[in-house]
Amino acid sequence: MDGNGRWAKQRHQPRIFGHKEGAESVRHVLKACAELGVKYLTVYAFSTENWGRPAAEVDFLMKLFSQMIERETNELTKSGVRMRFLGRLHKFSKELQKKMNAAMEKTKANKKITLNVMVNYGGRAEIVDAVNEILGTKGLGAGGRGAGDEEKITEKEFNEHLYTKGMPDPDLLIRTANEMRVSNFLLWQIAYAEIYVTETLWPDFRREQLIMAIEAYQKRERRFGKLV
């Protein structure tokens, strides 16, 4: 969801003004996805690298996450939205973790659409966490592989240890603000995702822009490395 800072700068406002408006874009896009029959929407809200931003901006984002959870959870429940926070959640304050867990618990039975909010997330971190989890379940330590040396890790097994386990890989990756990189986002899962890049800054990305992205996706010929 790139372009919040640039959007605010164009309006001679502080960056946090862009983040606040960007949160409104999430609400609009989520509603549009639900109406269009999209079953999974994954938004990159805060990366493992974002802790390096100015302390005031990070503090504002933490407060914004907290406020959005408090404000939106009941409405999401009524609308059939399942909310999931995925990433290294342990780094957040105990209070924020409690709110995240409560929102996930309250919406867990909803089936209309799943909203994945990636926070303190990085694609490389997710892969490392999956590997360490596999090592732990197999009883393998740093000193060696032990009795199971001959065992091979399959892609299916690896998938079961990702944050996104149980969910399909994304079909479409949308990059706003004309960014031409994947930025450490879902590195494993987007192997065959179609990528759509738009110059639109995230706070200006609403239903109309989403439909344009989906229409562009529908014109693609997906081959998954094969010949048609």
Which residues are catalytically annotated? Answer: 2, 50
What's the Cα-to-Cα distance from 124 to each of 61, 85, 94, 149, 216, rounded to whole Å? 23, 17, 25, 25, 29
DSSP string covering the chain: ---HHHHHHHTT--HHHHHHHHHHHHHHHHHHHHHHT--EEEEEEEETTGGGS-HHHHHHHHHHHHHHHHHHHHHHHHTTEEEEEES-GGGS-HHHHHHHHHHHHHHTT--SEEEEEEEEE-HHHHHHHHHHHHHHHTT-BTTB-GGGTT----HHHHHTTSTTTTSPPPSEEEE-TT--S-TTSSTTTTTT-EEEE-S--GGG--HHHHHHHHHHHHT----TTS--
Contact by Cβ (8 Å): 62, 92: yes
| Sign, Cα dihedral of 8, 13, 16, 22 | negative
